[in-house]
Amino acid sequence: MHDRLAADLTDLSRLLDLTRERSLAVLGGLAERPVIRPDWLVQPSALPDRGCGLEAALAEFTEKWEPGLSASAGPRYLGFVTGGATPAALAGDWLTSAADQNANSSFENTGQELERQTVAWLRELFGLSTAQDGAFVSGATMSNTVGLAIAREWVGERRGVSVSEQGLAALGPVTVLSGAAHSSVSKALSVLGLGRDALVSVPTLDGREAVDVAALERELSEAGGPCIVVANAGTVNTVDFDDLGAIARLRGRYDFWLHVDAAFGAFAALSPEHAHLVQALDAADSVCVDLHKWLNVPYDSAVQFTRRRDLQTRVFQNAAAYLGPLGETPDLVHLTPENSHRLRALATWFTLRAYGRDGHREIVERCVNGARVFGAAVTANPALRLLAPVRLNVVCFTLAEDPRPDRLAAVIREVSDEVFFTPTVYRGVPALRAAFSNWRTEPEDVQRAVDSLNKAVSTAR
Ligand SMILES: *Cc1c(COP(=O)(O)O)cnc(C)c1O
């Protein structure tokens, strides 16, 4: 063994203690460090021939790189829809690396059994029936991609073609209908060979991001054959929800696959006040839910569900002599684009075991309250304009006067020590979004974000 490796192995206990202390320092600094550091730059260095060992590498990372990282694990990073990591999720993630399992086959069944049981908990958490089978993937983009790959196979089935065997050329064009689809849906269509142009934007309701179901029905009748509908359960700008029940009922008259992108909106199921928004989620043929957002497990984690596991294994099966047959409960290697993958489910298992449905409901409701308070503060400031009602956990707002992108960028910079918002464009208006999804965000943090924003806009030129 190389002498550096041997030395680190001998000293492993002390070195992991140092790493633990560093982790605690990172977490302890979240409340005070700048929320984003857009100007931090590290000069590239040559690939080391002789390494310096873990302790010196840790010191170099701490000095050169760590200060430039954003406080995205912390309570006032309100960009995108980013969660942090609960204590139990963090512990699960550490143990995932320590155990370093390849959780994909029955040779080492315990890992994939843990994933299956965790998927069953998630299914229950989101009110889905046992007709929905699930698997872990790396994020909602991948979950949408897997769902749409199964949808593509289904369109093939309807047309008497096996896309997984014969390829796309045998399938021909496919229409994908959606109101306000997330950008990752276009990316998925590009990856899947259906093409970004396959996506037809269906009009949304007046002043809303929810699809106009009557307009959707017109598109379906024009499509004339089997197609794919992507329903949105929580749009990123205004967290608007399509009427999932009404869309599902259209299947009595039209032939389509219903994929629901519920990346973070699925968590509405945890709040009695909002659960009706996703009550019909189970009617979907495939469902996307992100976990590294509102479940507050570390990146990279999401789940995808589908009612057609048979089509899923047709697409993703990895036939190899040393892998088992598909059978009733196929090995996880046959379900997603990845073959080898880490025991990604463990962080989710830990946080659900440690805090339960109740603990996660408290996180969801506290975030929703934070968004309400923040939204009320935006409304109260005449220099700001709320662009949509606060429906769940995101506040979409802009400057009341002259909301140019450069003026909004100046606001983001001005508040960056205290809080981070993401820029967006909503109905043609440049805007900002404050998303509340971190388990650490307390009322004091909401107040600090409000104070910082009010101060920045009072000096904005
Ligand atoms: C975040 C998000 C995605 C993409 O998620 P990633 O985890 O970044 O891949 C897709 N759809 C919606 C609605 C989202 O909010």
CA 235 to ligand 1: nearest atom: 13
Whether 209 lines ligand 1, by a CB cut-off of 6 Å, is no
Domain ranges of the chain: 90-350, 356-460
CA 144 to ligand 1: nearest atom: 10
- 89-127 pLDDT, tens digit per residue, is 999 999 999 999 998 888 889 999 999 999 999 999 999
Sequence-distant contacts of 307-312: CB under 8 A, at least 24 apart = 307/131, 307/132, 307/133, 308/150, 308/154, 309/133, 309/335, 311/150, 311/153, 311/154, 311/157, 312/133, 312/146, 312/150, 312/153
Give the CATH fold of the 90-350 domain: Aspartate Aminotransferase; domain 2 (3.40.640)
What is d(CA 296, CA 437) in angstroms, rounded to the nearest whole number?
8
pLDDT of residue 224: 85
Whether 240 lines ligand 1, by a CB cut-off of 6 Å, is no
- 265-287 pLDDT, tens digit per residue, is 999 999 999 999 999 999 999 99
> 0.85 cut: is pTM over it?
yes
> Is 3.90.1150.10 the CATH classification of the domain at 356-460?
yes
In order along the chain (461 residues), what is the average pLDDT of each group of 10 residues? 98 98 95 90 96 98 96 96 96 97 88 97 98 98 98 98 96 97 98 98 97 98 95 97 98 97 98 98 98 98 98 91 72 94 97 98 98 98 98 98 96 96 96 98 98 91 54
CB 200 within 8 A of CB 227: no
Backbone φ and ψ for 18, nearest 5 degrees, come out as -60, -40
pLDDT of residue 461: 54
Ligand 1 pocket test target in 144, 239, 290, 303 with most atoms within 8 Å of CB: 290
Q: Do domains 90-350 and 356-460 have the same CATH topology?
A: no
Here the tokens at position 287 are 């469902």
- Select from 300, 295, 298, 325 the least CA-distant residue to 313: 325
Whether 294 lines ligand 1, by a CB cut-off of 6 Å, is no
- 5-35 pLDDT, tens digit per residue, is 999 999 999 999 999 999 999 999 998 899 9
Whether 182 lines ligand 1, by a CB cut-off of 6 Å, is yes
Burial class (CB in 10 A: 0-12, 13-18, 19+), 222: exposed
CA 19 to chain centre: 28
Residue 184 Cα to ligand 1 midpoint, Å, equals: 7
End-to-end, the C-alpha distance of the chain in Å comes to 62
